[in-house]
């Protein structure tokens, strides 16, 4: 059981598509007063890492009902024929969510259950460290200044057991989904964060479908396509 939080906010560790703030408006029903402007639908956030000592690793292992394989996290010490069981830190963004909005967030994450991450397993990337490791950091998404306490609820959404399956011919990884995630990394931390995502994510698969419109002319539909394709090719 989680200890009571005195805050009117919860925190969600985003490790996949939610890092891309353009996805927030789809489910968000009320604006947090701490967003940069009242017209913004993006949740305030800060770059963070969950230590591998917490016992989980990000991997392509969530079987979507719409016929593709999305991101999840799995126990890093579990026995698996897939190499994604090896432990690794998880980089991402911690978002502040009004506690009253958490039921909406739970509905967004159907097929997942949330577990609480103790603060001792969290490392926050402060703005000074961020600027040292990212060129032109001023062009990236502005980070919030959260003052976390041990009583704060920081949630990680974990796939329910019956949803955990690796990619196959009928449930491939999708270029459009990979783009959304890596665009989120680039939005917050540039190529360095995107590269770290690729290196610390298990379950990459030969079952990969380029489902983007006009795939032969990516500049028409795929934001940051050149950077994304170069990174994926580097580690294919």
Closest CA to 12 of 70, 76, 90, 98: 98
Average pLDDT rounded to a whole number, residues 5-28: 86
For residue 36, the model assigns a pLDDT of 40
Average pLDDT rounded to a whole number, residues 153-176: 97
Cβ partners under 8 Å of residue 8, min gap 6: 98, 99, 100
In the chain, the percentage of residues whose pLDDT exceeds 70 is: 77
Q: What angle do CA 225, 165, 60 make, to 5 degrees?
A: 25
**Residue 82 contacts residue 88 (beta carbons within 8 Å):** no
| Confidence band for 38, pLDDT divided at 50, 70 and 90 | very low
Chain segment 77-111, per-residue pLDDT in tens: 644 445 445 678 999 999 999 999 999 889 989 99
Chain segment 136-145, per-residue pLDDT in tens: 455 788 999 9
Can you tell me the distance from the alpha carbon of 102 to that of 98, in angstroms, rounded to the nearest whole number? Answer: 7
Q: Is 221 left (phi over 0), alpha (psi -120 to 50) or beta?
A: alpha
């Amino acid at each position: 059981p989680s200890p009571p939080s005195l805050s009117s906010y919860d925190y969600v560790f985003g490790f996949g598509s939610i890092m891309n703030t353009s996805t927030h408006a789809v489910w968000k029903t009320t604006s947090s007063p701490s967003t940069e402007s009242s017209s913004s639908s993006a949740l305030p956030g800060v770059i963070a890492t969950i230590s591998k000592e917490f016992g989980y690793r990000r991997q392509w292992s969530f079987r979507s009902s719409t016929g593709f394989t999305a991101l999840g996290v799995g126990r890093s010490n579990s026995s698996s024929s897939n190499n994604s069981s090896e432990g690794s830190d998880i980089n991402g963004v911690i978002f502040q969510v009004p506690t009253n909005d958490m039921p909406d967030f739970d509905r967004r994450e159907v097929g997942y259950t949330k577990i609480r991450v103790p603060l001792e397993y969290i490392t926050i990337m402060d703005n000074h460290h961020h600027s040292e490791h990212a060129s032109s950091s001023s062009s990236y998404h502005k980070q919030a200044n959260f003052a976390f306490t041990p009583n704060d609820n920081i949630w990680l959404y974990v796939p329910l057991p019956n949803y955990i399956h690796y990619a196959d011919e009928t449930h491939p990884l999708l270029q459009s989904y990979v783009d959304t995630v890596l665009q989120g990394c680039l939005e917050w931390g540039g190529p360095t964060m995107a590269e770290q995502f690729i290196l610390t994510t298990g379950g990459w698969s030969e079952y990969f479908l380029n489902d983007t419109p006009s795939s032969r002319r990516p500049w028409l539909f795929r934001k940051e396509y050149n950077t994304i394709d170069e990174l994926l090719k580097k580690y294919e």
